[in-house]
């Protein structure tokens, strides 16, 4: 069987490895438009900071493709999929035929729609190339601006600050990590990052980049309130959009992301999709959301592989809204639904001297989301409870104080 995978990152590689594990005869081909060996995309802020090189981001051994007998076509974009002839058309006119196709094309940064964003030294932060180029420019700069106080934006700000730049983060919303934290949690993280010297501007929209006189490079950012922030380098991190075009243009079903069923099949026969390019139903809310998380991409790649080789394993509904990170000395985990719209009870534990903040959201005694800040031990238990919608009436307060364990919900026979 000829299996073709478009995409050489989390989902694509996890699928390839799984297929090879079970099927020694399958012909596996991976197509990627990147020229680099597979790298840990989540760590590219370290490239911006200058603390990690490409080889320190590579996460498969050099002989990975040989060892797994995988044909790698790199540095070439897949331009189209032809479902009738079961072929992938590459940008150089070359055709690759498939019996089963996996689309693992990921996502790309949203432009942000700020005026003059085509001038020089303005970067998204999604690929190694972008991080490397931004790092080069930042090395000889003093002033930096970051648009967007999400996870990538804040990581970029920390990286630039570590290089010694003056960094201002501009966020349209009223506080940082708007998708992960509430106001109080965000205040703790903001204080921590401010201590490192990062400045913040909230609640105002970036209007336009100002080009330098003479060269066509960025020199400042003007905000809607008229304020001008000097910037010799700018990072724009205002979210991503899934790469759906291959499936869309082939007549496959696409809404925000590529639509897949529980076997991770697209609406096109023998075409599967996994990772950041798909949308999927969230276990906590029942909403259909963009997948967009490395751990989910790896998991989906694995399940897509099972189904591609005929093992028929439905992909269990994932918790899509989850993330973890650390800024300064504050570990952060955010899970599920973290607003009062989707819950009818919220409990808070605060130990601000130790900068521990925990807020749990319940709907009818079921944990639907939580913010864990400062102490994230045992977080996976909360993830499990949210995913499985287990009633936690009796242990709500223990969960809030962070003194429970999975043993509480095990069914022990006596």
Partner 1 sequence: MSKEILVNYEKCLGCRSCEIACAVAHSQSKTLVGAILNNEKPLKRIFVNQVKDKKIPLSCRHCEEAPCIDACIAGAMHRTSEGIVTNEGGMHECTGCWMCVMVCPYGVIRSLSDRRKAVKCDRACFDETDEPACVRACPTGALSYVTVDQFGESKRYRFLFEALSTLIR
Nearer to partner 1, 9 or 166 (CB): 9
Count, residues near partner 1 per rule CB under 8 A:
42
Query: What are the structure tokens assigned to 140, written together?
Result: 């000889």
Q: Which of 154, 221, 298, 309 binds partner 1 (CB under 8 A)?
A: 298
312 interacts with partner 1 by CB under 8 A: no
Q: Is 25 in the site for partner 1 (CB under 8 A)?
A: no
Cβ contact 324:370 at 8 Å:
no
Q: Write the DSSP symbol of residue 115.
A: B
Is 294 a binding residue for partner 1 by CB under 8 A? The answer is yes
The strand ranges marked E within 34-130 are 70-73, 78-82, 87-90, 95-97, 100-103, 107-109, 122-123
Q: The tokens of 219 are what?
A: 């020199």
Residue 40 engages partner 1 in binding (rule: CB under 8 A): yes
User: Is residue 36 near partner 1 by the rule CB under 8 A?
Assistant: no
- Shortest Å, Cβ 14 to partner 1: 8
Of 147, 124, 145, the C-alpha closest to 45 is: 124
Stretch in the footprint of partner 1 (CB under 8 A) among 158-166, 250-258, 276-284, 370-378: 370-378
**In whole angstroms, how close is the CB of 295 to partner 1 at the nearest point?**
4
Q: Is 192 in the site for partner 1 (CB under 8 A)?
A: no
Counting every residue written for the chain, the total comes to 414
Spatial distance between the Cα atoms of 66 and 61, rounded to a whole number of angstroms: 10
Pick the stretch among 52-60, 122-130, 199-207, 244-252 that binds partner 1 (CB under 8 A): 52-60
Q: State the DSSP H helix or E strand holding residue 199, giving kind and residue range, or none if neither.
A: strand 199-202
341 or 413: CB nearest partner 1 = 413
75/295 with CB nearer partner 1:
295
Name which of 409, 397, 408 is nearest 358 in CA terms. Answer: 397
- Smallest separation, CB 368 to partner 1 (Å): 16
Q: At its nearest, how many Å lie between partner 1 and the CB of residue 239?
A: 19
Restricting to residues 3-22, name those near partner 1 by CB under 8 A.
14
Task: Tell me the CA distances in angstroms from 57 to 45, 254, 414, one per residue in order.
Answer: 11, 32, 49
Query: What is the per-residue DSSP string for 306-326?
Result: HHHTT---PPPPP--SEEEEE
Question: Do residues 297 and 16 make contact, with C-beta atoms less than 8 angstroms apart?
Answer: no
Which of positions 329-358 make contact with partner 1 (CB under 8 A)? 329-333, 335
Q: Choose one: 77-85, 119-127, 269-277, 405-413; the region binding partner 1 (CB under 8 A).
A: 405-413
d(CA 382, CA 319): 11
- Residue 251 makes contact with partner 1 by CB under 8 A: no
Residue 407 is a binding residue for partner 1 (CB under 8 A): yes
Q: Which of 295, 310, 345, 401 binds partner 1 (CB under 8 A)?
A: 295
DSSP code for 394: G
Least CB distance to partner 1 at residue 379 (A):
5
Cα distance between residue 237 and residue 117, in whole Å? 13
Least Cβ distance, residue 317 to partner 1 (angstroms): 14
> Would you give the DSSP letter of residue 407?
G
What's CA 296's distance to the chain center, in Å? 9
Whose Cβ is closer to partner 1: residue 85's or residue 353's? 353
Supply the minimum distance, in Å, between the C-beta of residue 67 and partner 1. 14
CB 69 within 8 A of CB 28: yes
**Lookup result for tokens 């970029």:** 156
Segment contacting partner 1 (CB under 8 A): 26-34, 259-267, 271-279, 378-386? 378-386
Binding of residue 182 to partner 1 (CB under 8 A): no
According to DSSP H, which parts of 196-313 are helical?
A: 245-249, 294-308
Residues that bind partner 1 (CB under 8 A): 14, 40, 42-43, 56, 58-59, 61, 294-295, 298-299, 302, 322-326, 329-333, 335, 374, 376-381, 383-384, 405-408, 410-414
């Amino acid at each position: 069987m000829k299996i073709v995978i478009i995409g050489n990152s989390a989902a694509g590689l996890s699928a390839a490895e799984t297929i090879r594990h079970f099927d020694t005869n399958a012909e596996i081909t991976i197509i990627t438009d990147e020229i680099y060996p597979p790298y840990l995309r989540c760590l590219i802020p370290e490239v911006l900071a200058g603390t990690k090189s490409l080889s320190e981001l590579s996460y498969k051994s050099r002989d990975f493709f040989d060892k797994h007998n995988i044909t790698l076509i790199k540095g070439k974009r897949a331009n189209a999929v032809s479902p009738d002839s079961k072929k992938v058309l590459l940008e150089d006119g070359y055709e690759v035929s498939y019996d089963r196709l996996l689309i693992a094309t990921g996502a790309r940064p949203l432009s942000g729609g700020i005026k003059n964003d085509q001038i020089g030294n303005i970067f998204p932060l999604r690929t190694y190339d972008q991080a490397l180029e931004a790092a080069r420019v930042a090395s000889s700069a003093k002033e930096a601006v970051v648009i967007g106080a999400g996870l990538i934006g804040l990581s970029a700000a920390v990286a630039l600050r570590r290089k010694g730049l003056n960094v201002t983060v501009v966020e349209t919303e009223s506080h940082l990590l708007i998708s992960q934290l509430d106001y109080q949690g965000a205040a703790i993280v903001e204080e921590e990052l401010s201590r490192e010297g990062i400045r913040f501007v909230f609640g105002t929209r970036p209007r336009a980049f100002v080009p330098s006189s003479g060269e066509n490079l960025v020199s400042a950012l003007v905000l809607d309130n008229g304020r001008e922030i000097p910037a010799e380098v700018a990072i724009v991190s205002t979210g991503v959009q899934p790469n759906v075009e291959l499936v869309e243009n082939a007549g496959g079903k696409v809404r925000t992301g590529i639509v897949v069923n529980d076997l991770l099949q697209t609406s096109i026969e023998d075409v599967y999709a996994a990772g950041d390019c798909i949308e999927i139903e969230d276990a906590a809310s029942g909403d259909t959301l963009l997948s967009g998380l490395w751990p989910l991409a790896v998991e989906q790649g694995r399940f897509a592989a099972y189904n591609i080789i005929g093992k028929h394993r439905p992909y269990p509904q994932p918790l899509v809204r989850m993330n973890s990170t650390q800024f300064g000395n504050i570990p952060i985990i955010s899970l599920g639904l973290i607003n009062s719209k989707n819950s009818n009870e919220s409990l808070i534990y605060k130990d601000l001297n130790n900068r521990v903040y925990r807020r749990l959201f319940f709907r009818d005694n079921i944990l639907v989301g939580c913010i864990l800040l400062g102490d994230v031990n045992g977080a996976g238990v909360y993830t499990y409870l949210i995913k499985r919608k287990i009633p936690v009436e009796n242990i709500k307060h223990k969960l809030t104080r962070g003194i429970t364990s999975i043993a509480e919900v095990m069914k022990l026979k006596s």
